[in-house]
Structure 1
Amino acid sequence: MTQTVTTDDGVRLWASRQGQGQGRPLVLCHGGPGLWDHLEDVAELLSDRAAVVRWDQRGCGRSERCAGPWTTERFVADLDAVRRHFGLERMALLGHSWGAQLALSYALARPERVDALVYVSGTGIDPVSDWHGPFKENFLARLGEVPERLARWRELPDGDRERAVLQWSIEFEDREGASEHAGRMADPWFGINTECNKALNDETRRAWGTPELYAACEALDLPVLIVDGAEDIRPRSAVDSLERALPRGRRVVLREAGHLPWVEDPTGFREAVTGVL
């Protein structure tokens, strides 16, 4: 069931709700920034356990194109508009990649609205400079396993669909199925909001890794499940900072999975997350 959520500044967001499970309601936050919801498979895995809400973030995917603002504070407010629209007094939050950062930011800002947080394939709370160099090396090495693929990726402009599929194909440990998995992420294709992507990534570089952020995470009195794919090309050591800070954190590492662990280990992913629900 798809619906339109209207934010407090009048922007219309695409949203969908499915499932009637008896667990606490679950809201999903997709990655990016600048992309659209790609968590339908996650919703299918969990909708027998909980009502699951998905949404496209501001200016992205099926949501209304707008001029921003592209800030975490604004996106946290949008997520709260989604919560209110569906009548959720409290909810579990699951965020993937950039969406894990957004879900964590929401939990820090509005902990009274969150029952539990599932932090999937994030990059922790240390400065971006601590992990981005090794990630870039891993990225080029993985893409360069097929030299023609790397050369083609370099030829194409930012925001191009073919370029995105090439880039996403290295996010899976399953080399044989990687192109098919990446193609599914791009079908349908809504176009990448590159302005949103740049602005929010720039904000993260400025704001992440501060003493205030560490202190806020140390004070977060919520159950938090961290889920990693061991073969993610982002150094998993980056997430150690968050794991150390959380007073009620638990971590599950899925050994044969990459950046989208529910694709390559759906059973392990479901078992981990249903414990929270």
Structure 2
Amino acid sequence: MPRYCSYDDTELAYRVLDSRDGASTPPLLCLAGGPARDAAYLGNLGGLDAHRPLVLPDARGTGDSPTAADPSAYAFPALAEDLESLREHLGLERFALLAHDAGTATAQAYAAAHPDRLSRLVLLCPGARLQGELPDDARDIFESRRDEPWWPDAAAAIERLARVADFDEVRDLLLRAAPMAYAHWDEPQRAHAATEPGQLNPVPRAGFWQGVSEPARKAILEHLGETGFPVLVVTGALDAVTGLRSGELVAKSFPRARSHVLKDSGHYPWLDEPDELRALVEDFLTGSLPDTE
């Protein structure tokens, strides 16, 4: 894997998926969530590499990137500075950025600190912890699916998760609860879910939200309100992980944002509705989709 030297001289890894049609379109940089899950779970994001290269960095302590000597380097604002170092390494004046799940917090911290470097921003299934709210509609979505055959075991696993500290058991429980993250529980979803336990990294995961004070959080939101680039927030109607309300709150943090709900999708839309997601993101990146609703 190629590597780049970040702000503190740490060499971090990233992957490049070349465009399958050979087009010289500018790359789309893609941030993984978790937090602290190996970026491999993103795959090619449902075929988004068809017409443009994808650049997928492994955050510190994930994938092929080394662990951090200082735990504060795992906090999402610090990870945003790793992204700035990657931009410099790639020689990009401005670029389009896509982020999923907790990676959307890193993307928002980057947008607040370096707004002139972004051309467009896509946020997939974001939570709203940065916005200071924890909407409960994800629980409602989960409850609405209680007739699914996997629901009783997933519900028991979720209840147990709140009381478990051992990370090996956490991994097992997350796998049992995995169907709640998808609109369907077919072979592609099962295979994708099976990769999660081995892709989670407990120390970077614990450090992701640490050391970010309330004034710092509010400052990020204030700066987001001054950005000028277009933002697309995508949520899944069946996402029982982050729900829909979080996406609405995140979109309101930006002056030029539009929200889109994928009706037959959960937390991983490139697994549930790949064609719809690919067309939506491509239209947004090429300017075919209006910037705001």
Give the aligned CA root-mean-square deviation in angstroms: 2.8
SS state at 2:177 partner: helix
Please tell me whether the aligned partners of residues 232 and 259 of structure 2 are also in contact (alpha carbons under 8 angstroms): yes
Percent identity reads 25
Alignment match, 1:49: 51
CA contact (8 A) 2:154 2:177 kept: no
Structure 1 residues not aligned, in runs of 5+: none
SS of alignment partner, residue 252 of structure 2: helix
1:242 is displaced (CA, Å) by: 2.6
What letter is aligned with 1:39?
A: L
Other-structure match for 1:118? 122
Q: Which moved more, 1:9-18 or 1:160-169?
A: 160-169
The one-letter code matched in structure 2 to 1:64 is P
**Alpha-carbon deviation of 1:204?**
6.3
SS class of match (2:167): coil
The one-letter code sitting in structure 2 at the alignment partner of 1:223 is: P
How far has the Cα of 1:113 moved from its partner?
A: 1.3
Aligned to 1:227: 234
Give the aligned partner of residue 250 of structure 1: 258
Preserved CA contact (<8 Å) 2:141 2:238: no
> In the alignment, which residue of structure 1 is the partner of 2:193?
182
| Displacement after TM superposition at 1:194 (Å) | 1.8
The aligned counterpart of 1:193 is 201
2:30 matched to which residue of 1? 28
SS of the residue corresponding to residue 85 of structure 1 reads helix
CA contact under 8 A between 1:165 and 1:179: conserved in structure 2?
A: no
Q: 2:70 matched to 1:71?
A: no
Q: Which residue of 2 aligns with 1:108?
A: 112
**Secondary structure at the counterpart of residue 15 of structure 2:** strand
The superposition leaves residues 79-113 of structure 1 with CA deviations (integer Å, 9 ceiling, x where unpaired) of: 11222222222210000001112112111111121
Q: Is the 8 A contact 1:220 1:246 kept in 2?
A: yes
Q: Please, what TM-score do these two structures have when normalized by structure 2?
A: 0.80
Q: Distance in 2 between matches of 1:224 and 1:127?
A: 20
Equivalent of 1:267 in 267, 275, 280:
275
Q: Distance in 2 between matches of 1:58 and 1:142?
A: 36
Q: Aligned partner of 1:220: which letter?
A: T
1:255 offset after TM fit, Å? 0.3
**1:62, CA displacement in angstroms?**
1.6
State the Cα distance separating 1:208 from its structure 2 match: 8.2
Stretches of structure 2 lacking an aligned partner (at least 5 in a row): 286-293
SS in 2 for 1:74: helix
* 1:6 matched residue in structure 2: 5
C-alpha deviation, 1:165, in angstroms: 2.3
Shift of 1:116: 0.5
Give yes or no for the alignment of 1:216 onto 2:223: yes
Distance in structure 1 (CA, Å) of the matches to 2:79 and 2:248: 25
Deviation (angstroms), 1:243: 2.1
